[in-house]
Copies of this chain bind each other. A is one copy, B any other.
Amino acid sequence: MPAQDLNATAASLLGFLHDGPRTGWDLVATAEAAIGPFWSLTRSQVYRELARMAESGYVEAGDPGPRERRPYEITDAGRAAFLEWASREPGEEVIRFPLLLLIALGRHMPAGQLIPAVRHHRTLHAIRLQRLEGVMQAVEAAQGADPFAVATMRFGLGYERAAVAWFDDLPEEIRGTEPWPEVPPVDGAVA
């Protein structure tokens, strides 16, 4: 049975499970930190995919620990399914950026209406950029970091830099005449 039945979200869970048993809760946190910037998933999804994969035999639930913690362990079949998934051609990226959609259609809205939204989102990106820069510094200082993880982190960094630069170049018509709001300070590195 050559495992044609994994979606990317499920596959990513199998990926994380290579490092040892994890509960659904753990996996959400791990995914958020490791792939959050370019692959989002929700708790519901994680629990559902874990249940599915348990049926397919790709993972096995261990004994529940305290608090209903139910750690899942990857099986040999799971590892095989993961490799099968990894050997498929990855599809193109999909971006859904509501603010950009709004701006694209801005011509048909009252003038100045989207300035507040633009300012707010600029702040969001500035915060993420700051945080990522902190993490990158920490990672680059440390020896023996996973080059794959570093590479993807670098992508996030480049993306956020481009985003903030783009905001800063917007014409007044769109960004307003006020200076940008201050970016609240962020605590240093995050796991």
A72 CB-CB contact with B under 8 Å: no
Copies in the complex: 2
Partner among B93, B98, B151, B161 whose Cβ is within 8 Å of the Cβ of A8: B98
Say whether A159 faces chain B, with CB atoms less than 8 Å apart: yes
Q: Choose among B101, B106, B146 the residue that contacts A12 (Cβ–Cβ < 8 A).
A: B101
- State the CA gap A63–B121 with chains docked (Å): 43
| Alpha-carbon gap, A117 to B53, bound state (A) | 26
Residues of A within 8 A of B (CB): 8, 11-12, 15-16, 18, 34-35, 37-40, 82-83, 86-87, 89-110, 113-114, 117, 121, 124, 146-149, 151-152, 154-155, 158-159, 161-163, 165-166, 169-171, 173-174
